[in-house]
A and B are shown apart, each in its own frame.
Chain A
Amino acid sequence: MRYLLVEDNLELAEAIASRLAMDGHAVDHAASLAEAEDCLATADYDLILLDVMLPDGDGRAFLKRSRDRLEVPVIVLTARSRVSDRVDALDEGADDYLTKPFDFSELEARCRAVLRRRGGSARNEIALGAAVFDPMAGTLCCGSSTVELRNREIRLLEVFARHPGQILSKGQLMDRLFSHDAEVTENAIEVYVGRLRRRIEGKGVRIETVRGLGYRMDTTAP
């Protein structure tokens, strides 16, 4: 995925960019609306993350101006959360909005929902051995058979897919799967891994337990 992040606070922008990069996404950063225009003129993006308060104008006004020629979905990042402001952002053509500070798994979930509404794009597909995994659509295809995964299963498989061959600890998986306000035990990870294993059985993708360390995905199985 390629993101355009329009945010004037450099520290936050840098943090969001590094966080998205961790999941294997490319991020271009624009610190103002003018820079954002330049970026949009030269590159294609899958999604725009747009701050509303920018040094050279209101993000929502920009949205209203460019909504007609812009085909990229937009998620507005707002520090305001007043009831009426939420409606404003959506009225002016944003696909969704998120209030700062936000949970990255929520950002992910909202991006997924927006992209799924917009039909997704082929470049999101990940080859897992013989199978093709589309994290946006939530499908895993192998030959002629396709399995539709549920949200948590998609995210779990995505984590493995972004770190091929790497051992992931239960703690690492927990952070990526659950929001931080929920008390989850490592037991829950075992439940979800077990469930995912059953769902993708026979698709050429296997998740093996590395005793004492965690789990690893193996895409070389027959």
Chain B
Amino acid sequence: MTGTGSIGRRLTFLLAGVAALLSVLSWGMVTGLALEAAERTQDNVLAASATTIAETLRSEQGQVQLELPYSAFAMLGAISEDRVFYLVTAGEEMLTGYPDLPVPQLGPPSPGRVVFDTGNYRGAEIRMAMLTRLVLAGAQPVPVTVTVAQTRNGVDAITGELSQLAATLAVAFFLVAVALSFFAARTSLRPLNEIARAVSRRGPSDLRPLRRDAPAELAPLLAALNRLMARLGQSIQRSEDFIAEAAHRVRTPLATVRVQAEIALRSIEDEAQRRRLRQMIRAVDESSRSAEQILDHATVAYRTDDLARDRIDLAELARQTAKALEPTAAMKDIELRLETEPAEVAGDAVLLDSALRNVLDNAIKYSPEDTTVRLTVSTDGGEARMAVSDQGPGLGEGPAEALTERFRRGSNTEGIVGSGLGLTIVDDVLRAHGGRLELGRVKKGEGACVTLVLPLA
């Protein structure tokens, strides 16, 4: 397995594999032991049976006589229903039994010892026990062999039964082991998951070190994570400081230029000069607004990467934003009319405020003096709709969607300062929140209607 798989799954598989191996081994051992025990029992009984028969051997008038005792077979029947065969021979002569019964071929028989063997007889496997005894027939000792054999069905049955029991136990053991390994893997990985959760639960700008107890194995990881966050925090701080410092350095002299131009405009009467001063002021405004929106665009991109999900009432947000823009509207005697109903969404208040501000700012900027800009917040089938409509010149000719492209401005915006990034920012913010921007295609001269649509929380 490669390093990219899940540690939890690997651990589970590893432990389960070991459990499976142990299960199979234990099943094999139990089965082997059962077979051996059953065989030994059968051997003992066969030996006892052969010995009992051999006990009855005696010699009568130089002839070997025997009397087959019932008990010799009864004890064989006690262990199973197997068929029993026997053969007693004295020297070369068969005394009784099945003449064609095979006998153990295990070297020269030694008197008094029982020899066992396995063979085939009448289509079945049999186990044989052979005992040789010397019986004095007349003056000559005659070697008498008693062979008792039994089929092995009983042994197989017992072994099979025990093996099945062992298999059941092994499967149960395996299942319990798998469950335990799953649990063990989860438990030992829990601190890791907790750290991951703690990191992902954080807001986009929360780079404080993680303070939590971790197992010794995870301490280096935690320490490395905290060092990384500290470095990241420092680098973000440095770049923010740099941007702030750069903005300060550039915009303060621009502000001086603008104020001085305004002062000059007050004291100069010549119309040509005044026009130049006005152009100067507009150029200053243009550069400052572009810089502002480029920075805003960067901030929006950074914040949408890891979006905050706070509960926000759009009605309240609309009130706040409208209040902030009231003085700007008042400069042109534009009335901001607010109609809201509660609409809760989940998102980043700073971004949503920025989006609404851009739209309202546009509406105020492009509206003629003495008109009304309407801001309505409503809900409609799981969606919150924040609509800004004005009595301005509308969105101009051409596809409305193209207005959200970067640095694209409408065809009728000449003479008004703008960077062309405003609607791009709005569109980015709405997309990040799973919403969309709707641009009202109002006929020329009848005003524009821009709607910010967001899913309700």
A, B co-complexed: yes
> Which applies to chain A's interface (DSSP): helix, strand, loop or mixed?
helix
Decide if A19 touches B271 in the complex (CB within 8 Å): no
Decide if A81 touches B333 in the complex (CB within 8 Å): no
Decide if A102 touches B258 in the complex (CB within 8 Å): yes
- Nearest B-chain residue to A169, judged by Cβ: B269
Contact with A along B333-367 (1 / 0, CB 8 A): 10000000000000000110110000000000100
Using known A-B contacts A105-B331, A113-B327, A171-B271, determine if residue A100 contacts B266 with beta carbons closer than 8 Å: no
Chain B interface: which of A35-43, A174-182, A203-211?
A: A174-182
User: Taking the nearest CB of chain A, how far is it from the CB of B80, in angstroms?
Assistant: 89
Using known A-B contacts A79-B244, A150-B333, determine if residue A180 contacts B255 with beta carbons closer than 8 Å: no
Decide if B259 touches A19 in the complex (CB within 8 Å): yes
Q: Say if the beta carbon of B48 comes within 8 Å of chain A.
A: no
**What separation, in Å, do the CA atoms of A183 and B292 have in the docked complex?**
23
Contacts of A141 in B (CB 8 A): none
Decide if B282 touches A80 in the complex (CB within 8 Å): no
Contacts of B266 in A (CB 8 A): 22, 172, 175
Q: Which of A15, A85, A152, A171 has the most CB of B within 10 A?
A: A15
**In the complex, which residues 161-208 of chain A have their Cβ closer than 8 Å to any Cβ of chain B?**
169, 171-172, 175, 179-183, 188
**In the complex, which residues 34-72 of chain A have their Cβ closer than 8 Å to any Cβ of chain B?**
53
Of A12, A83, A99, A152, which one neighbours B351 at CB under 8 angstroms? A83
- Nearest B-chain residue to A175, judged by Cβ: B265
Q: Say if the beta carbon of B256 comes within 8 Å of chain A.
A: yes
> Which applies to chain B's interface (DSSP): helix, strand, loop or mixed?
helix
Q: Say if the beta carbon of B1 comes within 8 Å of chain A.
A: no
Decide if B254 touches A181 in the complex (CB within 8 Å): no
Q: Say if the beta carbon of B172 comes within 8 Å of chain A.
A: no
User: Taking the nearest CB of chain B, how far is it from the CB of A13, in angstroms?
Assistant: 9
Contact with A along B410-421 (1 / 0, CB 8 A): 000001110000
**What separation, in Å, do the CA atoms of A100 and B260 have in the docked complex?**
14
Decide if A109 touches B330 in the complex (CB within 8 Å): yes
Contact with A along B217-256 (1 / 0, CB 8 A): 0000000000000000000000000011101101111111
- Nearest A-chain residue to B248, judged by Cβ: A79
Chain A interface: which of B26-34, B54-62, B293-301, B437-445?
A: B293-301
Decide if A15 touches B263 in the complex (CB within 8 Å): yes
Decide if A180 touches B278 in the complex (CB within 8 Å): yes
Using known A-B contacts A53-B248, A87-B350, determine if residue A15 contacts B260 with beta carbons closer than 8 Å: yes
Contacts of A15 in B (CB 8 A): 256, 259-260, 263
**In the complex, which residues 115-166 of chain A have their Cβ closer than 8 Å to any Cβ of chain B?**
150-152
Using known A-B contacts A150-B333, A181-B416, determine if residue A100 contacts B254 with beta carbons closer than 8 Å: yes
Decide if B417 touches A181 in the complex (CB within 8 Å): yes
User: Taking the nearest CB of chain B, how far is it from the CB of A86, in angstroms?
Assistant: 8
Decide if B255 touches A100 in the complex (CB within 8 Å): yes
Contacts of B247 in A (CB 8 A): 79-81
Decide if B251 touches A100 in the complex (CB within 8 Å): yes
Decide if B288 touches A83 in the complex (CB within 8 Å): no
Contacts of A22 in B (CB 8 A): 263, 266
Decide if A100 touches B252 in the complex (CB within 8 Å): yes
Q: Say if the beta carbon of B281 comes within 8 Å of chain A.
A: yes
**In the complex, which residues 67-95 of chain A have their Cβ closer than 8 Å to any Cβ of chain B?**
79-85, 87
- Nearest A-chain residue to B287, judged by Cβ: A101
User: Taking the nearest CB of chain A, how far is it from the CB of B294, in angstroms?
Assistant: 10
Decide if A109 touches B255 in the complex (CB within 8 Å): no
Q: Say if the beta carbon of B383 comes within 8 Å of chain A.
A: no
Contacts of B253 in A (CB 8 A): 9, 11-12
**What separation, in Å, do the CA atoms of A105 and B332 have in the docked complex?**
10
Q: Say if the beta carbon of B326 comes within 8 Å of chain A.
A: yes
Chain B interface residue number, banded: 35 or more
Contacts of B254 in A (CB 8 A): 100-101
Q: Say if the beta carbon of A2 comes within 8 Å of chain B.
A: no
- Nearest B-chain residue to A113, judged by Cβ: B327
Of A16, A53, A84, A188, which one neighbours B299 at CB under 8 angstroms? A84
Decide if B330 touches A102 in the complex (CB within 8 Å): no
Of A18, A85, A151, which one neighbours B331 at CB under 8 angstroms? A151
Decide if A19 touches B262 in the complex (CB within 8 Å): yes
Decide if B327 touches A82 in the complex (CB within 8 Å): no
**In the complex, which residues 21-46 of chain B have their Cβ closer than 8 Å to any Cβ of chain A?**
none
Decide if B285 touches A82 in the complex (CB within 8 Å): no
**What separation, in Å, do the CA atoms of A80 and B240 have in the docked complex?**
10
Q: Say if the beta carbon of B199 comes within 8 Å of chain A.
A: no
Of A81, A179, A188, which one neighbours B296 at CB under 8 angstroms? A81
User: Taking the nearest CB of chain B, how far is it from the CB of A139, in angstroms?
Assistant: 15
Contacts of B299 in A (CB 8 A): 82-84
Q: Say if the beta carbon of B79 comes within 8 Å of chain A.
A: no
Q: Say if the beta carbon of B284 comes within 8 Å of chain A.
A: yes
Contacts of A99 in B (CB 8 A): 251, 288, 292
User: Taking the nearest CB of chain B, how far is it from the CB of A31, in angstroms?
Assistant: 13
Decide if A112 touches B327 in the complex (CB within 8 Å): yes
**What separation, in Å, do the CA atoms of A180 and B292 have in the docked complex?**
19
Contacts of A105 in B (CB 8 A): 331
Q: Which of B262, B271, B296, B324 has the most CB of A within 10 A?
A: B262
Q: Say if the beta carbon of B369 comes within 8 Å of chain A.
A: yes
User: Taking the nearest CB of chain A, how far is it from the CB of B262, in angstroms?
Assistant: 6
Contacts of A109 in B (CB 8 A): 327-328, 330-331
What are 12 inter-chain pairs, A to B, with CB distance below 8 A? A15-B259, A79-B247, A79-B250, A80-B243, A96-B324, A100-B254, A113-B327, A151-B330, A171-B271, A179-B331, A180-B278, A180-B282
For the complex of A and B, the 7 pairs showing the least CB-CB separation, nearest first, are: A101-B255, A15-B259, A109-B327, A100-B255, A79-B251, A79-B248, A101-B258
